[in-house]
Structure 1
Amino acid sequence: MRNKSLLAVGIATIMVLALTLPSMATHQAPDGPVQAPVFMPPQTDGDEALQAVGTRWMVQLQDPALAQYQGGIVGLQPTALQITGASRLDVNAPAARAYVAHLKAQQANVAEAVEKAIPGAEIYRDYQVVFNGFAVQLPEGDKDAVFELMNLPGVKAVTPQQEYKPNMYASLPLIGAPALWEELEGQENAGEGVKVAVIDTGIYITHTCFAPAGYAYPEGYPLMDDDKPAATNEKVIVARAYFRPDDPPATGNGATWPGLTDSSHGTHVAGTIACNAGTVAETAGYTETISGVAPRAQLMSYKIFYTAQSGSGSGWTAELVAAIEDAVADGAHVVNNSWGGGTPVAYPDPIDIAYDAAWDAGVVVVFSAGNSGPGPNTTDHVTLKNITVGATTTGGTIASGKVSVTAPEPLTDTLQNIAFTTAAFGTPLPAGEVYTFVLASAAVISPANATGCAAWPADTFDGRAALISRGACQFGLKVYNAQEAGAEFVIIHNNTGDDLITMAGGVYGDQVTIPSIFIGQTAGVAMTQWIDDYGDNSELTYDAIGFQLGNIPDRLVNFSSRGPGMGNLQPDLVAPGVNIFSSGYGVGTGEARHMGYGQASGTSMAAPHVSGSAALLKQMYPDWTPDQVRSALMSTGELDLLDYDSSELGVLDRGGGRIDLSKAWDPGLTFDMPSVSFGKLYAGDTGMMDIVATDVYSHSAPFTYTIAISETGDITTTSYFTISVDVNELVVDGAGDTAEFTVSVKIAEDAPAGDYEGMIWFEHGHHHLHIPVWVRVWPELQEGTVLLIDNDFSYLLGYPDYAAYYTDALDALEVPYDYYNADMYFNNAQTIPDISVLQAYDAIIWFTGDNFWPDGSFTVHTPLTEMDQLALIAYLQGGGRLLATGQDLMAVLDADRDLGDPTLPSPTTSLPYFTGVSWVQDNVFSGTMPSMISGLGFMEDVWLNVVITDTAWYDGAGNQGWIDEIYRPEPGEGQPEENNPAQMIFHAVEGDFAKEGHVGAVKSAEPCLEMPDTNYDYRIAYLSFGFEGVNDPVPGSLELITSREDLMAKLLDFLWAEPTVSLPDTVETTTGVETAFEAVADHVGSLLLPPGFSQYRWDFGDGTDFVVTTGPTVTHVYEEAGEYMAWVEATDIYSHKALASTTVTVEQAEFMIYLPLVMRNAGG
C-alpha cells in the first residue's frame, strides 16, 4: 500500500474532493464510456489466530480408508457399512483388523519411498480409519519436495494443511428437550449409553457439570494419551490431545484439559451437550439450575485447539484428521465440531474426506455453520455428510449487573440501569459491590481511534473509565490499549444492536488486569453524547449484581452464516446460539476460568444443541443411520422464525428450521434426502430428484401421508417456477417399509436469474413433516460478454478515469461488454450487481486505476465492500472468469501484506486467496523508474512497456509508480493449492526485488485423474499493474513490445479457452498385447488460435502407475483379463485440463503348449 493516512470523511467531503482534487497525471486519457443500465442491488469480531507454519502436508494414498472400503482386494472382506449392513463401524472386527494391516503395509512402502526421495522428510502421523495416508513435515526450502511426493507410486493426492478456529437454561424448553426427556424415562436418564466426542479445546473434567457420581466406565474405557498429562472420570471417559511438533503448547497448556491460557470453548460446548441435570450454576451473584441437552451422555474430549508458544489458538489439518480418526475408533456415536475456517479453493480436502468417512462409519457429525453472516455463501463446510447448524436467539440473557450515569444532573432515563455482561478476561470487580468512575470516551478524545485498536498516549484516560466502540479488532486489544493509557475500567459498547455478548480476550487478554464490561449500542451512543456534552463531570455508577434479562427468541442472529454451500442448500438447520449459559468462561484467571459459568454466543454454541439432540435420538433409536438422525431433526424443525431485522427467512438462512425435539423423536418418516438442492438450472430447465422415505413408526394398518407443495419467496420468483411430486400421497405399511417419490422443479422460459425455493409438506395424523427445496436459476450466457467494473475512484476523488483504455481494447477485439462504475454506488453495503446479474457474464474485468482505498477508509462504504467481495466469490464458485488489474488492487482488498505470513491479520474475505498469490512489497521497482515487464510461461513472447516518462512519446496512462511485487507462497506458508497452483506470468525486468519480481499470475480450478470433479470451475487472471499503464508500440519504432489489444486477447483467451479431449467409446484387447490408445484433443471458445497441448496423463484402470506423454498416443499391456475404465487427462499450454474415459475389455490371450518332438529310430 502507499504511505497514506486513514481518513474519516463524510459523504459531503467525498463529493467535494471529487470536484476539487487535481489529476495525478498530465497526459490526456481517451474518452470514457457511458454507464450501462445494469441492475443495482438495493441500498442497504473475532479472534485472529497466530501460527508458526512449517511445510506440513497431508498425503492421501490410493486405497479407500477402513470406513469406506467396499471390497475388491483379494483376501480382504469389505468393511463399509453400506456393504456389511451394520449400523456402526467395528474397528476391532477381524475384517477391519485385516484391512488396517493392509493399509499400514501400504503406508510403510510409501513411507520408505518418501525417505529415499526426500531426505529430511518426517512422517509424524498416519491414518487408516477415516483417511488412508499420513502427515509429513518436509524440509524447509525444498521447493521440489511436494512434486517428489506427488509422483511417488501409490500416492493419490498431496494437500497442504489448513488452519481452523473455534467458531442453555433458556434454550432447552425452546427446543422441546423436556418432551423428549419424558419419552426417555426422565431427564435423569436422557442420553444414557450414548458417547459424544467434542473436538475442541479440551474439557475441564473437575467442573461441577461433569461430576462423575452415578456413572461407571463402559467396558474398554477410559482411553487417554500415554505421552502427555491426561485425566478422565466416569463422565468424561476419553481424554486426548494433539500438539503440533512445530508449535507446541505454551507453558501450562500441555495437558489434555484446557490449561492456564487455553480457551474455555470446549468446556462450554461440552456443558451444553451433557452437563449433569440439576447442576447449580452461579455468575455475578445470579444463580440458575442448568442441564445439558443429553445430561446422561458420556463425553469424549479431543483437544485440538490450544494456546501455543507462538500465541496461536488454531487447529490444523493433520491434528483434526487424527482426532476424528480416534473418535471413530474410540466408539463415538456423535462428534461435535464447533469450529471452522479453511479456504474456499477447490482441492481434495483431507478434512472433508475424513469426516465423510466418519459419517459413512455410522457416526453423526455436527458442524457449526460459521460466524460470517449475514451475507450469502458464507457457510464453512462444503461436504454434505454432516449436519451444519446456524444460530438463533433464546428467550433469556443473564446480565452481569447494571450501570448508570449518575452525574451531572439532571439525569436521563436512557442512561439508567443499563444491563451489561462481564468480559471473560481481566480482573472483574467483586459481585454485589457498587463502584463509581469518571467517564471518558475514546470517540470524543480521539475520533479516529473510537474502536481503540491503536495505542493512545500513556495518560489519555488517567484513572477514568474508558468508553470504546466494538469493531475492527479483538476485545482484548481494546481493553489492553486503554489499560496502558491509564484507564481503570473499560466499557465496550455494541456497534450492531443492543444484544449483549461475553467478550473473549484473544491474543491480548492475558495481559489485561483491569475489569471491562459490554453494553448495547443504544446506551453506548447515548453515553458517548453525554460525555461529549459534560466531559469530566460525567460519572458512572457500577452495580455488579446479576439478573435475568429477557430476550426475543427465535431470531436468526446476524452473524450466523448463510448458504448456499457448494451448490447445495445450507445450513441444514438452526439452534440456539446467543448468550448460551454453560460451563466455562467464568471470571478469574488461569484454570479458574474453566471452573466457573458464563455466557457465549456463536454458531459454536448452536452446534452442541444439535449434538445433544442427536445423542437423544441415538439413545431412542440405536440403529438409526446419521442420515435418519439428520432427517428427523430437519423435517420437524420449527419454521416460525424471523431474521435479526424481523424480515422473513428463506431456506438458505434456516434450512429445515430450528430444532424441535418434541416432534423430532416421533417424525413418522425419515428421508434419505431431507433437503432438495438442484443447484444450477437455466430458464426453461427441469430438474428431477428421487427420494426414499422410510417408515419409522410402529403401526399395523397402512398409513397414508398426504403431500402438499408451496413455492416460497417473493412474488418475483414464485410465479416463475413450480415444484411437483410424481405422487399425491405416500402409503407405508409399518416400521421399516419404504416409499419412493420423485421431486421435480420446472423453471419458466422467461424466469429471471436468482434463488428459488419452496417446501414439500407431508401429513398424517400427528405427523407433520417438511422438505426444503432450493434451486439457483442462472441467466443465459451471452457468448463473449464482459462486465467491466470501474473502481478507479475517478468518480469519488477526482482521480484520472482510465475506463477508455479497457473499452478501446475490447472494442478492437470486437468483444461486447457492459460498463459499470461501482464508485457511483458508494454508501451502499453492496456496490456491484448481485450474483444473479454477475452470472450472466462470461467474464468480469475489474480495474482499480490509482485507487488504493479499502472499504472502511471513509465514514461511508466504498467499493469493493465485503458484500461485493462475497458476490465475486459466489461468481467464481459458480465457474466465473475474472480479470483483476491494478497497481494497488491488493490494498483495495485490504490484503496488502504477506498472506503467507500467519502472524499477520487475514483480509476481509477470502477473495484475495483465489489469486493463489500474495503481496510482497508496494513497488517492485523500489524507487527506480518503471520500465519493462516480461512474460513467463504461455506469456513468454510478451514484452510490456510501462514507462511513465515521456508521455508525448508513449500512449499509456503513465501512472504505474506503485506496481506491487507478488509471489506464490511456498508449500505450507499460505493458502492451500489444488492440482493447478497459480502460474506466474509476468515479472519486472529490473528492480530491487523482495522475492523474484513477479507482477502477474493466473489461477484456475481444473479436474485431474485424482479428482475428476472439481467443486467449481473458476479462472482468475491477476495483474499487480494496471492494464491502462501498458504503452502501445510506437509506430515506426523497433521496440518489440506487446500492445494492449494483444495483451487483452491473451488474457481473455486464458479465461475462455476450453480444452476438450475424447477417446474411442470402447477398446477391445487381450492380455500380454501392447494396446494403443489415441486421444483427440481440441479447444472451444478460443479468442485466438487454439492453444496447443503440453501433456497427457494416462490411467489404464488396472492399478498400474499413471503414464505421462507429450503426445496424444500411448500403448499399454494388460496382464489380467477383465473390464477396465481407462482415462486420459489432457493439459494445454494454459494448464487447463480435460478428461475422457473409455471402457477397455481385456480377454485372456489364447496360447498353445508345444511338446518336444520325439523321433524313434526304427532301424535300431
Structure 2
Amino acid sequence: MSRSSFCCCRHLIFSFLFLLLSFLTQVRAATEEKKNVYIVYMGAATSSPRGSLWEDHIQLLSSVLERTEAMQERLVYSYRNGFSGFAAHLTEEEAGAMVQKPGVVSVFEDPVLQLHTTRSWDFLQYQTDLKRDSNPSSDSDTLTQGSDTIIGILDTGIWPESESFKDTNMGPVPSRWKGVCMEGRDFSASNCNRKLIGARYYNDTTKSKGEIHEQTPRDTVGHGTHTASTAAGISVPGASYYGLAVGTAKGGSPGSRIAIYRVCSSNGCRGSAILAAFDDAIGDGVDVMSLSLGASAYLRPDFNEDPIAIGAFHAVDKGITVVCSAGNDGPSSSTVVNAAPWILTVGATTIDRDFESDVVLGGNKVVTGEAINFSELQKSPIYPLIYAESAKLNSSSDEDARNCNPDALDGAKIKGEIVLCQHSQRYYSKREKMEEVKSLGGIGLILIDDLERAVAFTYGEFPMTVISSKDADDIFSYINSTGNPVATVQPTVSVTKYKPAPAVAYFSSRGPNQQTENILKPDVVAPGVNILASWIETNSSSGVPAGQKPSQFNLLSGTSMACPHVSGIAATIKSKNPDWSPSAIRSAIMTTAIQVNSEKNPITIDSGSMATPYDYGAGEVSPSGSLEPGLVYETDTNDYLQFLCNYGYSISKIKLIASTLPEGFECPKDSSADLVSNLNYPSIAISGFKGKEGKKVNRTVTNVGTEDESEYVATVNPPPGVDVQVIPEKLRFTKNIKKISYQATFSSSASSPVKGDSFGSITWTNGKYKVKTPLVVSSD
C-alpha cells in the first residue's frame, strides 16, 4: 500500500471514528434529555432509622438502572420523616419499571404548582357574631396569643428584616423545636430569632448543571413575606402602601413562631420540593402548615399523585393542621383545588375597604372607579376624553379597538387624551392595555370591567381606573351629548366601612368538589382582596410614586392572601387548646363561620347575586367565634382511610399509605362514593340524590364547651325540595358523655323534588353556642 493510500485510509478511519463518537455522544445526550424528575411515593415512613430509609431508597433506585452510576447524581430528595419516598432523575422507562416495584404507591413526574396570588383582621372582629371585650388587647397580651405554636409557611421565602418579624418581648423558642436556620445567599443564621425560628430552602430541580441556584431562604418574590406576616406578623403601627390603607398591620396569631420553607420561585413551585418541605416540617415540629399554592383547576392530579395531598395526609396524621388556598380559577364552578378532606381549604372574600379612583366628567359629574394609582392629573376635568373605538386603525377591528388591544389604536388620535376602553376580551391583561395606551401618548385610561371591578390593581403613577358597565353608561351619554368631552382621573383614596362586605371575590375558586362531590369544598372563606401586609425591599422604582422610597408593605389579592388568615386563626386555637386534633380545629372554624354581611343580609358574590356554600363553604371565618365552638366534629386517620376505600383505592394501596391500620382493617365490600357523605365532616354534601330512595347520613359531635352538663337542640333549615329529619332532636351531654351521634335522613319533598343543587343547614344550639352545619343536596 502506498503511503498516500495509507494516509487516505487512516484519514477515513479517523473520520469514521469521529462520526461514530459524535453519533454516540448525540445518542447519549438525547438519552440524558429524556430524564425528568419523578417522585416515587412509598406511603408512611416505617420506624426504621433515617439512615436505613435513605439506604432503602438508594437500593430501590439502583434496581431500575441499567448501569452503575453515582446515585447521588440521580437522587434529588429522600423523604424520611412523616412518609417514605424520594425524587430522582429517571427516564420514562425507568419510571415505568419503578411503579411495578413492591412498596411503591405511585410514581409521577414532578409537577410545577403555582402561587395563588391590617384592616382585614379589624373587619373580621367587627363581623363576628359573638360579643367581644370592648377594651383592645395590649401588645403584651397580643404576644401571648399563639406564643407556643409554630406555623410552617411553604412559599417563596421570607424577608427577615421586615418589622413584622421582630421578636421584641417574645419568650424562648419552644424546646420541642427541631428545625434549623439554613444559611444561604444573603442570609445567615443570625437572620433567625425568637419570631422567625427556622428557615429552609430547596433548589429548583429543573435547572441545568452550571446554572446558579437561588440557594437562600430569602424571599426575592415577595409572596412568602406577605403571607407569613398575614398569618403571624407582630403589630406594626403606621403601616400603609404609600399613604393608602393606613393603620396597624398585624397577623392573625401575632405571638406564634414562624418557620419558612422556600419551595417556590418566580417560576412556580416544584412538587418534589413541596414534599421535601412537608417531610422536614413534620420532623421540625410545626403545629400548623400554611400553603398558598396549588395545582391548576384544569390539571388536577389524583390524591396519590398530588404532592400537597400526600404531604398533608401524613402531616395531619402527625397532628399538624394543614391550611391551603382554594385556587384563583373562579368564578367558574368545579374549580376548587386542594380539596382532600384532611386539608382545610380556603376561598377569598372582600373586606369593608375600597380603593376609589374616581372619574370626573365635564360638569363635575363623578363616576366611581376602583384602582390604585397615584395620578398627578389636575382634579378638574380639563383633559380630552375619547372612546377607543373612535381611535381605531383602519387595519384593526372595532372589537379590538374597543378593548384597546395592542396594534389596534391610532396614536395620533389618542395622544394627550384620556381613553375609555372595554375589557370584554381578556386576551390581554389590563396592564398590557395600560402600556399600549401609554406608549401611544394617552394620558389616562378608564377601563370598563364588571368581573374585576371589585379588586383594585396597582398602576403606579399612570391615571387609570376601572368602572362598571352600568356606570359606563353615564360616560357614554356624556360623550354622545357634547362635541368636546373632557374628564380627569383622580388619585386613589381609601374608603372604609364600605358596604356590603364581605362578598365572595370573583377569582375565588368554587365548588362543587370535582374529585368527590360528597365533600363540600371550599371549607370556609376569609379576606383575600387588597390585603395589606409586609413586602420585600427592592431596588426597582416601578410603581413607586415620585419622591418616595419603595414601600415596606404591599396590597395583594388572591386566595393566597385568604389562606394565612385561617392559618393564623388555627394557630391561636391550637395555642388555647393544645390537645385538639386538626379536625377539631377545622370544625371549630367551620361551624362558627358567618353567612351574613355587614348589612345583615346573606353574603353575596361580588356581582351582587346571593352566594351559596359552593362559593363560601361554611361561611366567612370568625376569629373569636372559633375559639368557643361548643361542639366539634372529629375525624382521625382511620376515618380518612375509610374515605379512601369509598373513593376507590384498593386495600393494598391503603396499607402502603397508612403508618398503622386497625387490626383486621379491610375495605368494606359495599364501599362506594355514595358513602363518602358519612365521613364525620362539619358539612354534609349529597350528590346523585334520588328522592324516592332517600339518604341517611351519620355524624358524631364532641362537647368542648365550658359546661359538662349541656343540652343542644337541632334547628333544621331544609334545602328546598328536601325533607330533613334529625334523630335525636336533642343531644344531652354530661360529665361522662362527651360524644353523641345523630342521624340526618333526607327524603324528597312531595311538593317540589330537588332539581340541580339545593342548600340548607342544621344548627345545634344550647342557648350559648351555635354549631352550624351546611347542607348541600344535588340531584346530579
Task: Please classify the TM superposition score into its range, dividing by the shorter chain length.
Answer: 0.7 to 0.9
**Mapped partners of 2:203, 2:388: distance in 1:** 40
- Residues 433 and 104 of structure 1: is their aligned pair in 2 closer, same or farther, counting only changes over 3 Å? farther
Is residue 2:270 matched to residue 1:316?
yes
Q: Could you report, residue by residue, the CA deviation over 1:941-977 in whole angstroms, capped at 9, with x for unpaired residues?
A: xxxxxxxxxxxxxxxxxxxxxxxxxxxxxxxxxxxxx
- Residues 696 and 475 of structure 1: is their aligned pair in 2 closer, same or farther, counting only changes over 3 Å? same
**Mapped partners of 1:544, 1:753: distance in 2:** 46
Please tell me whether the aligned partners of residues 447 and 465 of structure 2 are also in contact (alpha carbons under 8 angstroms).
yes
Please tell me whether the aligned partners of residues 187 and 295 of structure 1 are also in contact (alpha carbons under 8 angstroms).
yes
Q: How does 1:403-414 map to 2 (within 5 A)?
A: 403-405=359-361, 409=362, 411-414=363-366
Q: What secondary structure, in the 3-state scheme, does the structure 2 residue paired with 1:598 have?
A: strand
Please report how far the alpha carbon of residue 498 of structure 1 lies from its aligned counterpart in structure 2 after TM superposition.
Answer: 4.2
Q: Which amino acid aligns with 1:318?
A: S
Match of 1:223 among 167, 180, 186: 180
The aligned counterpart of 1:369 is: 326
**Mapped partners of 1:336, 1:496: distance in 2:** 28
- Residues 347 and 574 of structure 1: is their aligned pair in 2 closer, same or farther, counting only changes over 3 Å? closer
Match of 1:627 among 571, 579, 583: 583
- Residues 624 and 154 of structure 1: is their aligned pair in 2 closer, same or farther, counting only changes over 3 Å? closer
Please report how far the alpha carbon of residue 438 of structure 1 lies from its aligned counterpart in structure 2 after TM superposition.
Answer: 4.9
Please tell me whether the aligned partners of residues 692 and 739 of structure 1 are also in contact (alpha carbons under 8 angstroms).
yes
The aligned counterpart of 1:774 is: 776
Q: Which amino acid aligns with 2:228?
A: A
Please tell me whether the aligned partners of residues 500 and 518 of structure 1 are also in contact (alpha carbons under 8 angstroms).
no
The aligned counterpart of 2:556 is: 600
The aligned counterpart of 2:192 is: 232
Q: How does 1:237-276 map to 2 (within 5 A)?
A: 237-247=197-207, 255-259=216-220, 262=221, 264-276=222-234
Please tell me whether the aligned partners of residues 469 and 495 of structure 1 are also in contact (alpha carbons under 8 angstroms).
no
Q: How does 1:172-211 map to 2 (within 5 A)?
A: 172-175=122-125, 179=132, 186-211=141-166
Q: Which amino acid aligns with 1:445?
A: A
The aligned counterpart of 2:115 is: 166
- Residues 594 and 549 of structure 1: is their aligned pair in 2 closer, same or farther, counting only changes over 3 Å? farther
**Mapped partners of 2:366, 2:99: distance in 1:** 65
Please report how far the alpha carbon of residue 149 of structure 1 lies from its aligned counterpart in structure 2 after TM superposition.
Answer: 2.8
The aligned counterpart of 1:60 is: 40
The aligned counterpart of 1:730 is: 731
- Residues 228 and 465 of structure 1: is their aligned pair in 2 closer, same or farther, counting only changes over 3 Å? same
Q: What secondary structure, in the 3-state scheme, does the structure 1 residue paired with 2:712 have?
A: strand
Q: Could you report, residue by residue, the CA deviation over 1:336-388 in whole angstroms, capped at 9, with x for unpaired residues?
A: 22223242354622421111111121111111222223332121123111111
- Residues 535 and 378 of structure 1: is their aligned pair in 2 closer, same or farther, counting only changes over 3 Å? farther
**Mapped partners of 1:735, 1:208: distance in 2:** 49
Please report how far the alpha carbon of residue 530 of structure 1 lies from its aligned counterpart in structure 2 after TM superposition.
Answer: 5.2
Q: What secondary structure, in the 3-state scheme, does the structure 1 residue paired with 2:718 have?
A: strand
The aligned counterpart of 1:127 is: 79
**Mapped partners of 1:358, 1:127: distance in 2:** 13
The aligned counterpart of 1:339 is: 293
Q: What secondary structure, in the 3-state scheme, does the structure 1 residue paired with 2:259 have?
A: strand
Is residue 2:62 matched to residue 1:112?
yes
**Mapped partners of 1:158, 1:398: distance in 2:** 48
Please tell me whether the aligned partners of residues 489 and 514 of structure 1 are also in contact (alpha carbons under 8 angstroms).
no
Q: How does 1:991-1010 map to 2 (within 5 A)?
A: none
Please tell me whether the aligned partners of residues 404 and 421 of structure 2 are also in contact (alpha carbons under 8 angstroms).
yes
Q: Which has the higher contact order (CA 8 A, sep 6+)?
A: 2
Q: What secondary structure, in the 3-state scheme, does the structure 1 residue paired with 2:688 have?
A: strand
Please tell me whether the aligned partners of residues 328 and 558 of structure 2 are also in contact (alpha carbons under 8 angstroms).
yes
The aligned counterpart of 2:690 is: 682
Q: How does 1:31-180 map to 2 (within 5 A)?
A: 56-62=36-42, 64-66=43-45, 76=47, 98-116=48-66, 122-139=74-91, 143-167=92-116, 168-175=118-125, 179=132
The aligned counterpart of 2:763 is: 761
Please report how far the alpha carbon of residue 456 of structure 1 lies from its aligned counterpart in structure 2 after TM superposition.
Answer: 5.0
**Mapped partners of 2:537, 2:199: distance in 1:** 22
Q: Give the TM-score, by structure 2 length.
A: 0.75
Please report how far the alpha carbon of residue 569 of structure 1 lies from its aligned counterpart in structure 2 after TM superposition.
Answer: 0.9
The aligned counterpart of 1:277 is: 235
Please tell me whether the aligned partners of residues 391 and 578 of structure 1 are also in contact (alpha carbons under 8 angstroms).
yes
Please tell me whether the aligned partners of residues 229 and 254 of structure 1 are also in contact (alpha carbons under 8 angstroms).
no
Please report how far the alpha carbon of residue 104 of structure 1 lies from its aligned counterpart in structure 2 after TM superposition.
Answer: 2.3
Q: Could you report, residue by residue, the CA deviation over 1:293-338 in whole angstroms, capped at 9, with x for unpaired residues?
A: 212222222223322xxxx3x2131122222222222222111222
**Mapped partners of 1:266, 1:542: distance in 2:** 32
The aligned counterpart of 1:665 is: 627
Is residue 2:358 matched to residue 1:356?
no
Please report how far the alpha carbon of residue 543 of structure 1 lies from its aligned counterpart in structure 2 after TM superposition.
Answer: 4.0
Please tell me whether the aligned partners of residues 56 and 160 of structure 1 are also in contact (alpha carbons under 8 angstroms).
yes
Q: What secondary structure, in the 3-state scheme, does the structure 2 residue paired with 1:421 have?
A: coil
Please tell me whether the aligned partners of residues 106 and 305 of structure 2 are also in contact (alpha carbons under 8 angstroms).
no
The aligned counterpart of 2:13 is: none
The aligned counterpart of 2:6 is: none
- Residues 371 and 327 of structure 1: is their aligned pair in 2 closer, same or farther, counting only changes over 3 Å? same
- Residues 548 and 55 of structure 1: is their aligned pair in 2 closer, same or farther, counting only changes over 3 Å? farther
- Residues 544 and 60 of structure 1: is their aligned pair in 2 closer, same or farther, counting only changes over 3 Å? closer
Match of 2:524 among 569, 573, 585: 573
Q: Which amino acid aligns with 2:433?
A: K
Structure 1 or 2, whichever has the larger Rg, is 1
* RMSD between aligned residues: 3.8
- Residues 431 and 466 of structure 1: is their aligned pair in 2 closer, same or farther, counting only changes over 3 Å? closer
Q: Give the TM-score, by structure 1 length.
A: 0.52
**Mapped partners of 2:262, 2:325: distance in 1:** 17
**Mapped partners of 1:490, 1:331: distance in 2:** 51
Q: How does 1:374-453 map to 2 (within 5 A)?
A: 374-399=331-356, 402-405=358-361, 409=362, 411-415=363-367, 418-422=368-372, 438-446=384-392, 447-449=398-400, 450-453=402-405
- Residues 615 and 136 of structure 1: is their aligned pair in 2 closer, same or farther, counting only changes over 3 Å? same
Q: Could you report, residue by residue, the CA deviation over 1:502-549 in whole angstroms, capped at 9, with x for unpaired residues?
A: 248xxxxxxxx9735433225556556656776886342544665647
Which ranges in structure 2 are unaligned for 5 or more consecutive residues? 1-32, 393-397, 597-601, 635-680
Q: Which amino acid aligns with 1:413?
A: K
Q: Which amino acid aligns with 2:504?
A: L
Q: Could you report, residue by residue, the CA deviation over 1:629-675 in whole angstroms, capped at 9, with x for unpaired residues?
A: 01111111112232224443333232222112332211121112211
**Mapped partners of 1:532, 1:597: distance in 2:** 43
Q: Could you report, residue by residue, the CA deviation over 1:97-150 in whole angstroms, capped at 9, with x for unpaired residues?
A: x354443232121122244469798221221234421122235xxx53432332
Which ranges in structure 1 are unaligned for 5 or more consecutive residues? 1-52, 70-75, 77-97, 505-512, 713-717, 778-835, 837-1164
Please tell me whether the aligned partners of residues 354 and 494 of structure 2 are also in contact (alpha carbons under 8 angstroms).
no
- Residues 202 and 227 of structure 1: is their aligned pair in 2 closer, same or farther, counting only changes over 3 Å? closer
Please tell me whether the aligned partners of residues 219 and 536 of structure 2 are also in contact (alpha carbons under 8 angstroms).
no
Q: Could you report, residue by residue, the CA deviation over 1:869-914 in whole angstroms, capped at 9, with x for unpaired residues?
A: xxxxxxxxxxxxxxxxxxxxxxxxxxxxxxxxxxxxxxxxxxxxxx
Q: What secondary structure, in the 3-state scheme, does the structure 2 residue paired with 1:318 have?
A: helix
Please report how far the alpha carbon of residue 572 of structure 1 lies from its aligned counterpart in structure 2 after TM superposition.
Answer: 1.0
The aligned counterpart of 2:281 is: 327
Q: Which amino acid aligns with 2:744?
A: V
Q: How does 1:636-651 map to 2 (within 5 A)?
A: 636-640=592-596, 641-644=602-605, 645-651=607-613
Aligned residues: 659
Please tell me whether the aligned partners of residues 584 and 594 of structure 1 are also in contact (alpha carbons under 8 angstroms).
no
Match of 1:656 among 618, 625, 641: 618
**Mapped partners of 1:594, 1:193: distance in 2:** 34
Q: Which amino acid aligns with 2:566?
A: V
Q: Could you report, residue by residue, the CA deviation over 1:808-829 in whole angstroms, capped at 9, with x for unpaired residues?
A: xxxxxxxxxxxxxxxxxxxxxx
Q: What secondary structure, in the 3-state scheme, does the structure 2 residue paired with 1:422 have?
A: coil
Q: How does 1:1052-1131 map to 2 (within 5 A)?
A: none
Match of 1:589 among 512, 516, 540: 540
Structure 1 or 2: larger helix share? 2
**Mapped partners of 1:434, 1:171: distance in 2:** 37
- Residues 473 and 204 of structure 1: is their aligned pair in 2 closer, same or farther, counting only changes over 3 Å? farther
- Residues 117 and 755 of structure 1: is their aligned pair in 2 closer, same or farther, counting only changes over 3 Å? farther
The aligned counterpart of 1:306 is: 265
**Mapped partners of 1:57, 1:587: distance in 2:** 33
Please tell me whether the aligned partners of residues 130 and 353 of structure 1 are also in contact (alpha carbons under 8 angstroms).
no
Is residue 2:520 matched to residue 1:520?
no
Please tell me whether the aligned partners of residues 446 and 467 of structure 2 are also in contact (alpha carbons under 8 angstroms).
no
- Residues 325 and 436 of structure 1: is their aligned pair in 2 closer, same or farther, counting only changes over 3 Å? farther
**Mapped partners of 2:736, 2:418: distance in 1:** 65
The aligned counterpart of 2:717 is: 710
